[in-house]
């Protein structure tokens, strides 16, 4: 199998809880290749978290619960146990012979899955940690910051108000999508599968530019982008 046709699992999570112990209530993923061809997509909502009013009370996007309920009724998403979702994900990776995984801020999404596993099933052995260790890891945030977000990107962000309260150029997937599509009004869905589509687009742009992915995610990659700001 050539590198161009090697299958990649791109996924995104939405979480409740705090940053140190996030709990996944929404996971979306797509199995794709370097050209962005989708082979399989799934969207799972996790019963134990989404249906827990205490957990969802402090979820940043908890106000989306009525939308999720409608999506379930419409058959757009499945409400399942965390164990079921992970078993299907692992089986899909096996079926499509996935070799690589990717996410925008991959360390957080992996931490969220492990944290949810510990919260629901107790500590000790983690079958998820063992499972994900066998893949090549790509952090799309690190890669975008190091390969795509350069001088033109920074100038566009400054010209269009895409800066933080402290004056730093923003580097989220949402802002990256705004830049590449010249759509400053675009608002990210902040739902798993829909956000995966945005992240896949960024991933494909890296490959089309002939860039390489850094296998090791870097902490706070946004800092490196600030050096490209025009004086």
Longest dimension (CA), the chain: 53
pLDDT at 139: 95
Residue of 11, 41, 195, 176 lying closest to 109 (CA atoms): 11
- What is the structure's pLDDT at 123? 75
What percentage of the chain has pLDDT greater than the value 90?
A: 85
- Rounded CA-CA distance 221/223 in Å is 5
- Counting Cβ atoms within 10 Å, is residue 226 exposed (0-12), middle (13-18) or buried (19+)? middle
149 to each of 4, 167, 179, 181, how far by Cα in Å?
A: 24, 16, 10, 14
Are 102 and 9 spatial neighbours (Cβ–Cβ below 8 Å)?
yes
Q: What span, in angstroms and rounded, lies between the C-alpha atoms of 229 and 225? A: 8
- Mapped onto helix, strand or coil, the DSSP state of residue 153 is helix
Distance CA 216, CA 42 (A): 27
The pTM (predicted TM-score) of the whole model is 0.94
pLDDT on residue 78 = 97
Question: Residue 2's pLDDT is what?
Answer: 61
Rounded CA gap, 47 and 79, in Å?
A: 6
Element (H, E) at 223: helix 222-225
Q: What is the DSSP string of 15-72?
A: EES-TTS-EEEEEEEEEE-TT---SEEEEEEEHHHHT-HHHHHT-TTGGGHHHHHHHH
Helix (H, G, I), strand (E, B) or coil at 14: strand
Three-class secondary structure of residue 13 per DSSP: strand
Compute the distance between CA of residue 222 and CA of residue 231 in angstroms, rounded to an integer: 18
Residues of the chain with pLDDT under 70: 1-4, 214-215
Summarised one tens digit per residue, pLDDT across range 110-165 is: 999 999 999 999 877 789 999 999 999 999 999 999 999 999 999 999 999 999 99
Containing 149, the helix (H) or strand (E) segment is none
């Amino acid at each position: 199998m050539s590198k161009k046709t090697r299958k990649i699992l791109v996924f995104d999570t939405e979480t409740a809880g705090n940053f140190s112990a996030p709990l996944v209530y929404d996971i979306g993923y797509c199995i794709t290749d370097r050209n962005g061809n989708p082979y399989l997509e799934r969207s799972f909502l996790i019963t134990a978290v989404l249906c827990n009013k205490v957990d969802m009370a402090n979820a940043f996007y908890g106000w989306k619960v009525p939308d999720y309920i409608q999506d379930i009724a419409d058959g757009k998403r499945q409400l399942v146990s965390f164990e079921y979702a992970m078993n299907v994900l692992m089986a899909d990776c096996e079926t499509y012979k996935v070799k690589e995984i990717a996410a925008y801020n991959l360390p957080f999404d992996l931490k969220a899955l492990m944290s949810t596993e510990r919260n629901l099933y107790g500590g000790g052995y983690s079958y998820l940690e063992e499972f994900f260790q066998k893949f090549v890891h790509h952090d799309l945030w690190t890669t975008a910051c190091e390969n795509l977000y350069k001088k033109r990107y920074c100038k566009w962000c400054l010209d269009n108000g895409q800066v933080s309260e402290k004056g730093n150029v923003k580097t989220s997937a949402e802002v990256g999508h705004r830049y590449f599509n010249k759509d400053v009004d675009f608002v990210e869905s902040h739902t798993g599968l829909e956000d995966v589509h945005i992240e896949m687009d960024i991933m494909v742009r890296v490959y089309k530019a002939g860039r390489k992915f850094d296998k090791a995610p870097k902490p706070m990659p946004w800092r490196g982008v600030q050096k490209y700001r025009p004086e």
